[in-house]
Chains A and B, each alone.
Chain A
Amino acid sequence: MLTDHLLSLTVAAPFVAAVVLLLAPDLKGAAAKTVALMGAGASLLGALAVWINYDLSQGGLQLAEQYPLVPAYGISLHLAVDGWGVALLLLTGVIITTGVLATWTLEHREREFLVLLLVLVAGVYGVFVSQDLFVFFLFYEIAVLPMYLLIGIWGSEGKVERGGPLGFVWDKLNIGGREYSAMKLTLMLLAGSAAILVAMFAMFHAAGGKSFDFSVLQGFDYPEHTQLWAFVLLWFGFGSLGGVFPFHTWSPDGHAAAPTAVSMLHAGVLMKLGAFGVIRIGMMMLPDGAAYWVPYVGAVAVLNVVWGALSAMAQKDLKYIIAYSSVSHMGVVMLGAATLTADGWNGAIYQMVAHGMMTGLFFGLVGLVYHRAHSRWVPGMGGFAHAMPGVAAFFILAGLSSLGLPGLAGFVAEFLVFLGAWQSAHAWWAIPGIIGAFITAVYVLRVGRDVFFGQGPPATFHELSDAKGSEWAALVALGVCLIVLGVYPNVILEFIAQATSEYLPLVVKGAASGVAVLP
């Protein structure tokens, strides 16, 4: 039966497409892109099939598959999906498909580019459905490492001026360059991975050293001191990918240097792996560690929200603005996680999806503008709406979602997170969270005005034109997702809430395990 292997097929689809591209060097241009699109589209169909086949009334882990890998250490390719996974698979499918569509104009070594992109996304799918910590980590690294080449080879240069008390460092490192950005991103994320690895083996040994399976590691009652230090390692390790302050600084440079599809995928999905890891591994497997550290995790998260938003306000490069806004919005995810409430957790997972779609749309649009204007420098722009009304409309749409306008996905997520924050032990967290959303309104709409409104575009921009063909498809798909998720959240919220109701009691003793069910 197809459904027996649905998860492995979904994970494999982009990988198979990558192998096809690798083995057929003659595939070039549109043909290569079509193969990539088929791989991405197949995985999206797989994600949709998972969404349809997941039985809500039953809940729990479903569509399980298990293939032993290293029986001596209890490592197996154990795939299964829970309610969170359903939502995150959908996100991944939408982002990779639209990412390939939005990058149709790429003309430099596109075959190699697509191979790396597809391998990366196979890793992302794998993380969301792994039920074995070792395999989880393996997929995690597969998702992170191709980024180095993708940015280093296909990236663009940013402009960062020398300055500050530690300016002498500038002379040694070519700050702002694409090699620099790629190297920085990779090194910072690898430092995180090292921390994860240590915590992972510590947990494996503490739990008897017989199995890496989630079911074994999750139920084990680790000694308190192990929980305390291992949680910190996991928070740092996964958090650095999730953009947690102060380990977020790879993100603006990395996103700015990355080509369009990579930015879309990286901000749209990859950063979510980090936040997901903190919740799924850190909090759920180490509940005492979580209980001890959440006040700090939450405080750092609200700092993220406000810090990212204020930093975004001062940026003048279009990509840096969106990158810092991602830092701010990922703070909302971590804030929701730290509340340890049902609303907060639902909001956190919802924000992963909402922000993924929104930032995917943003980076897609910025890529379109950059491709036509050959500039990302906002102060030189203006009146672009004359030449690209569609792009302008979608930019405002994405902006409205990011500032939390009801009717769009971002509102549902932020509202749930703030509700959760006020119910948590640290009600004040909600206030900087809400202020962050206001600051977002300030900078996002201001950028919209500076770039798109006003008199016709300056004469230097003579190649401006609206989106075309496949680009339209990407914009419309993401825009429709934002609206659907904003208007009828239960498309995925039912699934998310189902998993939350199962998982929260593992972390918070006595948390209600029931979930409100739609009639």
Chain B
Amino acid sequence: MLELTPLQWAQLALWVPLLSAVVLAAVWPLRKAGGPAAGVSLVAATVNLAAAAVLLFGWLNGAEDVRHTAPWLIGGQGLIELGVHLDGVSVSMLLVVAVVAWGVQVFSLGYLADEPKAGFGRYYTWQSLFLFSMNSLVLAPNLLQLFLGWELVGLCSYLLIGYWFTKPSAAKAALKAFWVTKFADMGLLLGLIVLYTHTGGFEWTATTTAATTVTLLFFLAVMGKSAQFPLHIWLPDAMEGPTPVSALLHAATMVAAGVFLVVRAAPLFAQAPLTGEVMTWIGAFTALFAASIAVVQTDIKKVLAYSTCSQLGYMVAALGSGAVLGGYFHLTTHAFFKALLFLAAGGLIHAVHSNEISHMGGLLKKLPVTGWTFIIGALALAGFPGFSGFFSKDLILEGVAHQGQWVPLAMLLVGAFLTAFYMGRVVFIALLGAPSEHAAHAHEGGGSMKLPLLVLAVPALALGFFAGPVAGLWGHEYHFHLGWVGLTASALGLAGIGLSWVMFAKGGAQGLLAAFAPVGALARSGAVDRLWATGYRQGLQVLGGAIAWLDRYVIDALMNLIGYLSLALGDRLRAVQTGNVRDYVYAVVAGLLLLGAWGAMFPG
């Protein structure tokens, strides 16, 4: 057994994926070979998983926090440092990332097996780069490093969404994701600058009078990264990327980075009640809004994407209400069950070569492992009692209720009902419904596509029962307690599942479908999307055109006019050189007179 210090394990987790990415990027024959590149990346992911597991084990047994930094920049107010910070918060997130990333990389072996070799190698290069970037975010000892990792995972997201770059829609979606998150990231950058100016550093433990400004700016970035209304528009489009990418980046880890930022910077956010208020409202609204849209989606990935927006809304609302434990625990459980759902959905898509749930139907019999693990994920998401999502969602709702935020609480409760309903809809149509012709030849993927599902199903099912130790890791206490809020939520969840059963398994209550028609119309109209697109086309583009026109035809024309005038003036002045000596003498005399007059007017 290796005898390494926690710091050394953390460095392994950080540097091995980076080494893998650098080797794959630089040694192009290896990358273009495809399979071997995947091998390199998987070795790195496995080392990372082992390191994360050892570290978590250590912290569950009460290891001391570790902080190691080294100078990176020479700032005017002292050295600016980067490094590694190991505590319960970072170590647990490290393991979440490690497990999901490992599962996704294994799953991709089968899922992308038909890809050209060069593309396959490129895919695993970005996967390794993502693992490094996410780890550097999670292990950050200060908010600056968190920001560096934050931007790098954004880059990986751009690269992986655009994996099929020959497809115009994928290239477009990659760009949109990058633009929207980059737009929001201006807030984080400015927030960091304000924080530095006020405190001389980038510590999340700082106390400052500018906390409200700083946290509001941070929250703008959180809205972008964690897809909160109205900056959620990039996430559904991001589904253009390969499904395992959606599972890793756009469900489990990268989009949760926004929530992780708030968890990390909780001491700062605690100084800003106004920011908390804003977060609760935006989070709750997003939870409800996105859940309603998920109900009417027919593409299984879009259902899950809107569901992710919605669940991130729950976390944001929790953190806004000061329920840090609830928000962070939900991040953790959600990472597992949503990654599971996406990977299982990938298995279904792989089997029928379509994303449409109507093209599936009755797949449970043909893909029992994929189907059952999907159901486990769906039940966890729906908050079915006993599943992991039940415990974490209960903590969130209790937290919001505790703050007396009744309207947001109501939105979240309705959201819980809708969540159960749309997941029930997917399960009853795609897995249990009448088989469609697309599904005729469907069959289960290979071992590499089953193993990750089984691995992820365990925490999705059972993590709730370990809420106590997990809360302990983060310095919180957890006692199970089911109050009226939790009972209501559970009842609503069961009602949602029941209603979806009536409607989609039994074909009853079809009248209710009409009730969702306006939501469908709203979703199809893409009103929010359109608003941003208008801002981009009628705002930024037109402004750019106007400025470019001014630059060319006014500013530059003025410069040209000066040039033109000096040419013309030169032409005229040529006439002065007459060659007539008498003219020159007159000029000299006139000049002397003028000088004399000057001297007389300003003596001395």
Contact = CB atoms under 8 A, between A and B. Distances in A.
A310 B73 contact: no
B73 A385 contact: no
A315 interface: yes
The size bracket of the interface on A is 35 or more
Contacts of A406: 147-148, 151-152
A299 interface: no
A407 interface: yes
Contacts of A442: 179, 540
A460 interface: no
Interface string B192-227: 011011000000000000000000000000000000
Contact of B560 (A169, A386, A419, A516): A169
Contacts of A415: 73, 189
A172 B182 CA distance: 45
A313 interface: yes
B166 A453 contact: yes
Contacts of A518: 71, 74, 79
Contacts of B71: 490, 516, 518-519
B544 A188 contact: no
A72 interface: no
Interface string B538-582: 001101110111011111111111011001000000000000000
Contacts of B563: 173, 184, 187
B190 A169 contact: no
Contacts of B194: 422
Nearest to A500: B76
A249 B556 contact: yes
B182 A166 contact: no
B598 to A, nearest CB: 21
B168 interface: yes
Nearest to B565: A169
Interface in B524-548: 540-541, 543-545, 547-548
Contacts of A456: 166
B175 A449 contact: yes
Contact of A165 (B168, B179, B554, B560): B554
Nearest to B566: A187
Contact of B561 (A169, A247, A431, A515): A169
A249 B558 CA distance: 10
Interface string A372-415: 00000000000101100000000000001001011100011001
Given A187-B563, A438-B186, A493 B74 contact: yes
A425 interface: no
B372 interface: no
Contacts of B155: 400, 405
A198 B262 CA distance: 57
- Counting chain A CB atoms within 10 Å of each CB, the highest count among B74, B75, B554 belongs to B74
Given A346-B76, A493-B74, A314 B152 contact: no
Interface string B172-183: 100100110011
Given A314-B548, A449-B175, A249 B74 contact: no
A449 B541 CA distance: 17
Contacts of B556: 249
B171 interface: yes
Interface residues of chain A: helix, strand, loop or mixed (majority): helix
B551 A249 contact: yes
A422 B193 contact: yes
A46 interface: no
A516 B74 contact: yes
Contacts of A324: 548
- Counting chain A CB atoms within 10 Å of each CB, the highest count among B147, B172, B175, B554 belongs to B175
A241 B445 CA distance: 63
Interface string B65-95: 0000001111110110000000000000000
B162 interface: yes
Contacts of A342: 75-76
A249 B78 contact: no
A362 interface: no
Contact of B168 (A315, A419, A455): A455
Contact of A497 (B74, B148, B175, B190): B74
Contacts of A383: 166
A311 B182 contact: no
B478 interface: no
Nearest to A442: B179
B190 A434 contact: yes
22 contacts: A165-B554, A169-B560, A187-B563, A310-B548, A311-B544, A311-B547, A311-B548, A312-B544, A346-B74, A346-B76, A416-B73, A418-B189, A422-B196, A431-B190, A434-B190, A438-B186, A441-B179, A443-B544, A445-B179, A449-B171, A454-B165, A494-B74
